[in-house]
Every structure is written in structure tokens, then in C-alpha cells.
Amino acid sequence: MQNNTDITARINALKKEKNAVILVHNYQLGEVQDIGDFVGDSLELAQKAAATGAKLIVFCGVHFMAETAAIIAPGSKVILPDSHAGCPMADMIDAAGLRRMKDELPGRPVVCYVNSTAEVKAESDICCTSANAVKVVSSLPDDEIIFVPDQYLGYYVQQQTGKHIHFWPGYCPTHARILPEHILELKSEHPNAPAVVHPECRPEVTAVADEVLSTGGMIRFAQRPEISELIVGTEMGIIHRLRKENPGKRFYPVSEQAVCPNMKLITLDKILTALETESHAVSVTEEIADRARLTIERMLAIKA
């Protein structure tokens, strides 16, 4: 039985030997965040993957994130330490379903949330993340947009842009467990703490929040000097980074139930095995990757 210090030392040695980088999402377990070369939100991780030039990318997140990295960094081998780490929202739509929607609503551009499969990205015109969804939709000249698969993010974008959004009824089961009363209770206990929530939350929840932000946006918001306490409406994993980077500030998670079980599948043991065996490699067929890459690159061309 190895302890975490031994495992970390072996991970670091193998990383060097194999010219690997470890990219980590803000929702990962604390010990996984602590060994990452870079910790960030979906947009920041996609940008890093595109820029790294590393031979091997160990992606500590869920499948669609590793797949996005594999598409935009074709020169790197991308591995996901647990092949079962998926995103239920991404699996709520497939390419055939999106094609049917496009047939019913011809002529409308398709914006796909990055939480989607490569096949769905390949059928879409432009991708977005929670950090840039409003900007991406605003950049389009059209007044009517097809937005898949997150209905709540789509609803938020509609509110912010005034455009007519045709939704797909997908949602994140983790964020759907956050309810307005969770925020309101914490606000009455901590009247000076602003509440930030993720746009994957229900509209009733975003309605009672002070700010609606991506996980990267929350990290930056918490760094503001005027913030001494914060109510945090997203997956619990982000609390580790918020507390680590802001000693002395207080962070109140809105619900202990806001845990993404898929994000928690990645452990230090599995990262070590992934580096030793270079599995599980994430790959996308060339035809799909070429089309999906255009969708992602159109997004990356829009400056944050």
C-alpha cells in the first residue's frame, strides 16, 4: 500500500520522463487538483490543451473534456484515467437527435455546449462553454438559435441576449439538485455574502443569485479584495481551490448534494496507472474530429 506522497513522487517522475502534462478540472478531488500542472474551467482547459505541445495529456475531468482536448491537440495523446468518467448531460443528446431538430428548424445556426459528444459537435456550427456562451450567441447575426443540450444554460443565454432560443431538454443532474431555498437560507444566515451560481442551475436558482458564472469566473470573483465570504452554487469540488487560494475568506457551498460522481472517479492511484500504461486513450475518428474541430476553433477565435 503506497501513501499519497509516494504516489505523487512517482507521478511527477513519470510525468517528466514522458513529457506529460496533467490538466485538471475545478471539480476534481482536492488531492488531484494539487498534483495538476493546470487547474481550470472547461474553456481554460481547452485553451491549455491547444497550447501545450506535450506528447501526453493526462486529463483529469470527464470524457467530453478529454475528447475536446484530443480534437484540438491532435499531436498529443490524451488519456482519461477512468474511462467511466462521463457526463450524463452530454449523453442526453446524440447526432441523430440533433439532425432531427435541424430538419424541423432549418436555417437556424446550432450552438452546442462543450458538454456534448464529438459527434454532436460535428453536427453543430459553433461550440460554447459556460464562460463564453453569451458572447458566442451574441456574435451570431441570427435572432433564432438552436442551443443544445443544456436547457438551463440555453434559458440563461436567452435572457441575456434577447434572442429566441430553441432548446434541447438536457440538464445536469448535479446542478439540478441545487434549489432556490438552499441559496435563500444561506443568504439569511450570511447577509453580507454574495451568492454566485453556475448557469447550469435552474432558472429559479439563477434568479436569486448575485452573479451567474463559470467555475473559472467564480475563482476570479472570489479573488476580488472586497469579497470576504461567498455563497457558492456549483459542484462541491471547487470549494477546495477557493479555500486554498483565498486563506482567511469564507466559502459556503449551497448543497452537500451538489457532487458530480463522475468527476470523483479520478484518483491519484488511477492517474499513476494511467501514466504507467498510457491508458485510457481518448480518440475520435478523423472525419468526426475534422468537423468537430471547426466548431471548437470557431469558439476559440472569439476572445473572452
Q: Which residues are near ligand SF4 by CB under 6 A?
A: 62, 87-89, 115, 172, 174-175, 200, 235, 260, 262-263
**263 vs 86: CA distance, rounded Å:** 8
Using CB under 6 A, which of 67, 119, 123, 200 touches ligand 13P?
200
> Residue 79 binds which entry of ligand 13P, ligand SF4, none, with Cβ cut-offs from 5 to 8 Å by kind?
none
**193 vs 230: CA distance, rounded Å:** 5
DSSP state of 170: B
> Residue 215 binds which entry of ligand SF4, ligand 13P, none, with Cβ cut-offs from 5 to 8 Å by kind?
ligand 13P
**119 vs 249: CA distance, rounded Å:** 42
- Residues 132, 299: contact at Cβ < 8 Å? yes
> Residue 53: is it exposed, middle or buried by C-beta count within 10 angstroms (0-12/13-18/19+)?
exposed
> Residue 42 binds which entry of ligand 13P, ligand SF4, none, with Cβ cut-offs from 5 to 8 Å by kind?
ligand 13P
**280 vs 82: CA distance, rounded Å:** 7
> Residue 33 binds which entry of ligand 13P, ligand SF4, none, with Cβ cut-offs from 5 to 8 Å by kind?
none
The answer to the question of residue 117 lying near ligand 13P (CB under 6 A) is no
> Residue 41 binds which entry of ligand 13P, ligand SF4, none, with Cβ cut-offs from 5 to 8 Å by kind?
ligand 13P
> Using CB under 6 A as the criterion, what x/- string covers residues 13-42 for binding ligand 13P?
-------------x--------------xx
Q: What is the smallest separation between the CB atom of 285 and ligand 13P, expressed in angstroms?
A: 24
Using CB under 6 A, which of 130, 158, 255, 262 touches ligand 13P?
130
Rg (CA), the chain: 19
Q: For 74, how many CA atoms within 13 A lie in the half-sphere containing its CB?
A: 10
Q: Which is nearer to ligand 13P, 53 or 173 (CB)?
A: 173
**117 vs 265: CA distance, rounded Å:** 19
- Residues 145, 128: contact at Cβ < 8 Å? no
Q: What is the smallest separation between the CB atom of 234 and ligand 13P, expressed in angstroms?
A: 7
> Residue 67 binds which entry of ligand 13P, ligand SF4, none, with Cβ cut-offs from 5 to 8 Å by kind?
none
- Number of C-beta neighbours around residue 20 at 10 A: 22
> Using CB under 6 A as the criterion, what x/- string covers residues 148-187 for binding ligand 13P?
------------------------x---------------
Q: For 255, how many CA atoms within 13 A lie in the half-sphere containing its CB?
A: 21
Q: What is the smallest separation between the CB atom of 61 and ligand 13P, expressed in angstroms?
A: 8
Using CB under 6 A, which of 28, 68, 76, 115 touches ligand 13P?
115
The residues near 202 (Cβ < 8 Å, ≥ 6 apart) are: 152, 175, 176, 178, 179, 180
